[in-house]
Structure 1
């Protein structure tokens, strides 16, 4: 990325980056305040592809954070820039063929740190002339991550969350110095409020859904697997899906590694949703390419997996396409299964929030639906929500 202001780090990429709308081909510079395509209102992709492969044999001597994969990132490493030591989380076996990646051991206790560091570093590099404050909307974890990195970058931050968000999560956001706005209604209501605030002058919208820099942070999840497995990837990646930010980041990384000849096959993506809120699973099994635009989303039922309770994800078409291209599928899990999986993981020494237990619930409910070496992410710590009631 070309340095947008004189105060930005000199290590930025030499070539300018641009947002690109996959629907109509529109472009905008990353310095633009437009957080979505002004022509069709769609989500941006980032017009970026790594020009050189990540050198596996050279990684051992690099910084112990996700910035070690500098060839694959749209922002160059933070020489004097932003980091909390995010990434490099452990991979531990659960069964003979299923392993868990412990992303709840991130600085803010969720995988959202992977994308948040990229968003806030971008806001920091854009400089005070363009960014007076940062706004995010979230069910809790993404907002916490953005708040933490804004605190590190000394950027004012406001986070819009549904009023029913876990008090432990809102307490964590406030502890980082961010202003919490409790929005009546569900996750979509919080998104609407956040987007309205994002349109105010001088605001950087740190949207983990709309801003593609977030996906280029979450893709480091797969780069770490590839490194830890000695240049291989597992046969199956099981991923929880609400807005799909981890799944889409994972698919970015898989395709980049394959394009550079660093892996010879691509793993199947198995996407997991709570049965109570499963619009993507329904669309996938109906053979749809997207969620029906004219139809109202099915009423969201209560679910323990609040982090993936998204009735209408903006990147639905991309998520469905990625799962199909990978040869994967969608699985849904019931509330009793989620609760049992959380308790089972805790009995194994891994206390995660109920959303993070959804993938383990899917794998244990139907072991025949996943093949070969499999990795599940444990995305958020149990300290954020406590044990599921029941």
Structure 2
């Protein structure tokens, strides 16, 4: 394990040794970051490399994977003259979560725990279950009882056990975190474990490569727990530090109007969430219906650092955007349509924009 980087708490600086099954900061119980600062490879050096996200192995905290399913390298499709969609629903498990899950499970394989657990509204659990099947690891997925039956079917098909938790997404996370403290348990948290963020940063690395060493003027991403946004922020900093981009794109987060704690905090000019949670209402966009994201301060800071902001979209707009994408040949789940709904609602003028289509419509019915 000597080649693995240490963990470090972004709040108090507490360090956790590489190779540990510790899933959070021992002092504050918050999420961890990695003490890992790679230099991305230039375009010319990428020629001829494997056609998956592992072509960026030099920028990842793990290399030489054994559990890869060929994840990454998803296509770009033009939606308008200024807006491009990246089809991340064309992944092995039909969602962008494969970018981070493959790193989590590759790490788990090397640590050889007795069991792997994960909590999820569906997509992350499905992804971790698939890669655990590939790695031969015991896996249990904690989900809200109201999770889409199609997502549960997919999780079980990969051989994982499902623990359905009564209550909302927060209750599910609480149950999993309690189980995560048991000895011999690897908590494959896409929120707390920073390996996941280093996987999702390949979304931006692919955009940069496919656009010939440049990026759009604006990156718009859906935000619940913020794993794609924070991964994007990692990639932007690394590319800029290496001199591979001259300026940063603006980074915007999109939330469902029914559950928008980060957008509310942003509008108030706050650095974090208030002590008391705000109102939460049902939404079709279950993947981003997170009332208290643990990395809220990091998310708000990243959006501020990259000159962006937050947009909120009501469920009728999400449904309309989803139907519009389907008529364009792109059938995605509601959460994946949220960014297109935001861009359609307000737009970004003549600036070039990229949006991710994160999950396939086959995972949920058409509302």
TM-score, normalised by the number of residues in structure 2? 0.98
Matched, 1:275 2:257: yes
Question: How many angstroms apart in 1 are the aligned matches of 2:17 and 2:104?
Answer: 15
Matched, 1:172 2:160: no
Secondary structure in structure 2 of the residue aligned to 1:117: helix
Question: How many angstroms apart in 2 are the aligned matches of 1:31 and 1:57?
Answer: 34
Question: How many angstroms apart in 2 are the aligned matches of 1:335 and 1:360?
Answer: 13
State the 1:337 CA deviation.
0.1
State the 1:197 CA deviation.
1.0
Secondary structure in structure 2 of the residue aligned to 1:290: coil
State the 1:243 CA deviation.
0.1
Residue in structure 2 matched with residue 382 of structure 1 by the alignment: 361
Higher mean displacement: 142-151 or 37-46: 37-46
- Unpaired stretches in structure 2, ≥5 consecutive residues: none
State the 1:299 CA deviation.
3.4
State the 1:57 CA deviation.
1.0
> Runs of 4 or more off by more than 4 Å in structure 1?
none
Secondary structure in structure 2 of the residue aligned to 1:251: helix
Question: How many angstroms apart in 2 are the aligned matches of 1:102 and 1:169?
Answer: 19
Question: How many angstroms apart in 2 are the aligned matches of 1:371 and 1:291?
Answer: 33
Secondary structure in structure 2 of the residue aligned to 1:124: helix
| Alignment coverage as a number of residue pairs | 367
Residue in structure 2 matched with residue 39 of structure 1 by the alignment: 27
Question: How many angstroms apart in 2 are the aligned matches of 1:303 and 1:341?
Answer: 15
8 Å CA contact 1:236, 1:371 repeated in 2: no
Q: Could you report, residue by residue, the CA deviation over 1:244-297 in whole angstroms, capped at 9, with x for unpaired residues?
A: 0000000100110000000001110110000000000000010000002x32x1
Q: Write the mapping of 1:1-390 to structure 2, written as runs, cut at 5 A.
A: 2=2, 15-50=3-38, 52-78=39-65, 81-127=66-112, 131-292=113-274, 294-295=275-276, 297-368=277-348, 372-388=351-367
8 Å CA contact 2:40, 2:56 repeated in 1: no
The 1:118/1:371 distance shift into structure 2, 3 A limit, reads: farther
Question: How many angstroms apart in 1 are the aligned matches of 2:350 and 2:228?
Answer: 20
How large is the Cα RMSD of the aligned pairs?
1.0
State the 1:328 CA deviation.
0.3
8 Å CA contact 1:98, 1:376 repeated in 2: yes
Question: How many angstroms apart in 2 are the aligned matches of 1:31 and 1:150?
Answer: 18
The 1:58/1:41 distance shift into structure 2, 3 A limit, reads: same
Secondary structure in structure 2 of the residue aligned to 1:61: coil
